[in-house]
Amino acid sequence: MNEALERLWPDILAHLRTYHPAVCRQWFEHIQPLSIQGGVISARAHSPVHRDYLQRQCLQFFNEAGQAVTGRLISFRFLGPNDKDARDAGAESERLQDLRQADALVINPDYCFDNFVIGENNRLAHAASLGVADQPGRMYNPLFIHGGVGLGKTHLLQAICVKILQQSPSSVLYYISCDSFMNQFFDAVQAGTMADFRHKFRDVDVLIVDDIHFLTKRDRSQEEFFHTFNALHQINKQIVLSSDANPEEIPHLEARLVSRFRWGLVTEVLPPGYETRVSILQRKAAMRSLSIPDDVIGYLATRIDTNIRELEGAVVKLQAQSLLDKQPIDMRMAQLAVGDRPDHAGQKPTIHTVITAVTEFYGVRLTDLQSERRHRSITIPRQISMYLARLHTCLSLEEIGGYFGGRDHTTVMHAIKTVDNRRKTDQEFDVVVGSLHEKLVHNGRPA
C-alpha cells in the first residue's frame, strides 16, 4: 500500500464508524487497503462474500468517507482474495455472478457459523448444517430445517453457503427463495425456456431453497420441484431446505415430496433459552465492536424472549442511540429501545407538533420537507425537524425517516449530527433551535 493511503486509512475507518455505524463490522479491521490512484481507492476483502457485502451495502459510505477525509472525489473498488487487480475484479465478480445467477439471494457475511450461537434449541440443526457444509452431498441429503420466524433458519442456510464457498470457491451453489423458484418456473413456461431453467437448477453442486413451505400454492411448480429434486439427489448433489413447518404439516404438499423431504435429516430450530439469548446479544454486539454492559444484556434477554431478530434489532437501536447521545449504552437507553417508556411519555409532543412548530417558524410546507429538494431553505428546516423529532418523540430513526419522504435512518442520523455540530459553532442557529426546543417542551404538555 502506498504511504498516502496508509495515513488516510485509519481516518476513513473512523469516519465510517462515526457516521455509518450500522454497516460497520468488526472485520473491517482486516480490509486491506491496496492503492490510491486517480481518485480510486482499491481495497481487498478476505472473501468474495465480504467483498460483495462491501460493494452492495457500503460502497457509497466508503466513497463518502474517502471524500470527507481527502477533500477530493474518491470512489472505492473492492477486491476479493483472488482478484488480482481492478480489471480482474470485474471478471471475478462476473464469474461468481454467473455461478450464483442474477436472481440468487444475497448472502450476508454476518450469517456465518462463527456468528451463530449454539444452544439447546438449535444444537442438532447447527451440527447438521456444519456437516453438510463440510461434505456436501455426503451426510444428510436433503437437510431440512424447520421452525418459527426469526429462529435462525436463514442464518444457517447462508452459513452453509459461506462455508462451502470458502472451502471450495469453484462450487456451483444456488441459493434462492422458494418464491424465486416458482416465479422463474412460470416465467420459463411462458417464455418457452424450460431447457434453460432446468440447466440453471440442475447443473449445480448445491441447491439451497429458503422457505420451501411457499411451494404449496401452485401445483405445477411442485411437480417441477419434484423433478429438480430427483435429478440432483440421484447424482448426490446437496439439497438444503428451510420451512416454517415440518414436511407433514406443510398444507397441500404432495405426499411424494413429503417423503423425499424426509429422506435425509429433518431438524427443528426452537426458541432460544435465556442463556442462549444472552450469548446471542453478546455475539451481535461484538460483531459490531459494541460494548454493552451485562445488566443491559440481561435486561434485553429477559424482555425479548421469542424472536431473535428482535434481539438484534435492539442492539442496532442501542448503537444508534448511544452514538446520538454520545453516551455509553445504559439501562435507560435500553428501556427506551425495547419500549418500556418512561411514565410521562404520553405527554410528549408528537412528530406532528414538531413538524408544525418548524414549518411555522420557517414558512415552509410539510410537502417541501418530504420532497427531494436540496435547497438550503428546505434542508435546514428538514434537518431541524428530524433533530427535534428525535429529541421529543420515541420514534426510531427509521420511523422518523419515514415521515420525511421515506428517507433512511442514516440520513436521519446525518441530519441530527449536522444540527448538533452547527449548534456548537453558530450561535444564532443555536438560539433558533433552542427556542423551538423550548416551545415543544412547554406546548407538548397537555394544559
Q: Is 309 in the site for ligand ADP (CB under 6 A)?
A: yes
Q: Is 185 in the site for ligand ADP (CB under 6 A)?
A: no
> Least distance in Å: CB of 410 to Mg ion?
25
Q: Yes or no: say if 47 and 165 are a contact pair by the CB < 8 Å rule.
A: yes
Distance CA 271, CA 224 (A): 33
Q: Is 229 in the site for ligand ADP (CB under 6 A)?
A: no
Q: How many CA atoms lie within 13 A of 141 on its CB side?
A: 20
Please, which residue, 308 or 378, has the CB nearer to ligand ADP? 308
Among 122, 321, 322, 383, binds ligand ADP (CB under 6 A): 122
Closest C-alpha to 162, from 202, 82, 105: 105
Number of residues engaging Mg ion in binding (CB under 5 A): 2
Those residues with Cβ within 8 angstroms of residue 7's Cβ, 6 or more apart along the chain or in another chain: none
DSSP 106: P
> Least distance in Å: CB of 316 to ligand ADP?
10
Q: Is 283 in the site for ligand ADP (CB under 6 A)?
A: yes
Among 154, 221, 319, 322, binds Mg ion (CB under 5 A): 154
Please, which residue, 100 or 153, has the CB nearer to Mg ion? 153
Please, which residue, 89 or 178, has the CB nearer to Mg ion? 178
Please, which residue, 146 or 233, has the CB nearer to ligand ADP? 146
Among 19, 111, 225, 362, binds ligand ADP (CB under 6 A): 111
Closest C-alpha to 163, from 195, 130, 193, 212: 130
Distance CA 138, CA 258 (A): 21
Tell me which of Mg ion, ligand ADP, none is bound by residue 321, counting a contact when its beta carbon lies within the kind-specific cut-off of 5 to 8 angstroms: none
Which helix (H) or strand (E) covers residue 10, if one does?
A: helix 3-19
Residue 393, CA distances (Å) to 65, 245, 341, 388 in order: 30, 40, 11, 8
> Least distance in Å: CB of 309 to ligand ADP?
4
Which residues are 146's β-sheet partners?
243, 268
Please, which residue, 22 or 86, has the CB nearer to ligand ADP? 22
Please, which residue, 69 or 212, has the CB nearer to ligand ADP? 212
In the complex, which residue's CB is closest to Mg ion?
154
> Least distance in Å: CB of 283 to ligand ADP?
6
Number of residues engaging ligand ADP in binding (CB under 6 A): 18
The piece of 112-120, 150-158, 183-191, 314-322 that touches Mg ion (CB under 5 A) is 150-158
DSSP calls for 113-138: GGGPPP-TTTHHHHHHHHHHHHSTTT
- What are the grid coordinates assigned to 182, written together? 416458482
Please, which residue, 303 or 309, has the CB nearer to ligand ADP? 309
Neighbours of 424 (CB within 10 A): 9
- What are the grid coordinates assigned to 42, written together? 482499491
Amino acid occupying residue 328: P
> Least distance in Å: CB of 375 to ligand ADP?
39
Q: Yes or no: say if 94 and 123 are a contact pair by the CB < 8 Å rule.
A: no
Name which of residues 338 to 357 contact Mg ion (CB under 5 A). none
> Least distance in Å: CB of 179 to Mg ion?
12
Is the torsion defined by CA of 418, 423, 424, 426 positive or negative?
Answer: positive
The piece of 8-16, 54-62, 152-160, 188-196 that touches ligand ADP (CB under 6 A) is 152-160
Q: Is 316 in the site for ligand ADP (CB under 6 A)?
A: no
- 3-class DSSP assignment, residue 264: coil
Tell me which of ligand ADP, Mg ion, none is bound by residue 42, counting a contact when its beta carbon lies within the kind-specific cut-off of 5 to 8 angstroms: none
Distance CA 216, CA 308 (A): 26
Phi, psi values for residue 408, rounded to 5° = -90, 170
Q: Is 262 in the site for ligand ADP (CB under 6 A)?
A: no
DSSP 148: S
| 192: region left, alpha or beta (phi > 0 left; psi from -120 to 50 alpha) | left
The piece of 14-22, 149-157, 344-352, 408-416 that touches ligand ADP (CB under 6 A) is 149-157
The piece of 111-119, 230-238, 256-264, 390-398 that touches ligand ADP (CB under 6 A) is 111-119
Point out which residues bind Mg ion (CB under 5 A): 153-154
Point out which residues bind ligand ADP (CB under 6 A): 111, 115-117, 122, 147, 149-155, 280, 283, 308-309, 312
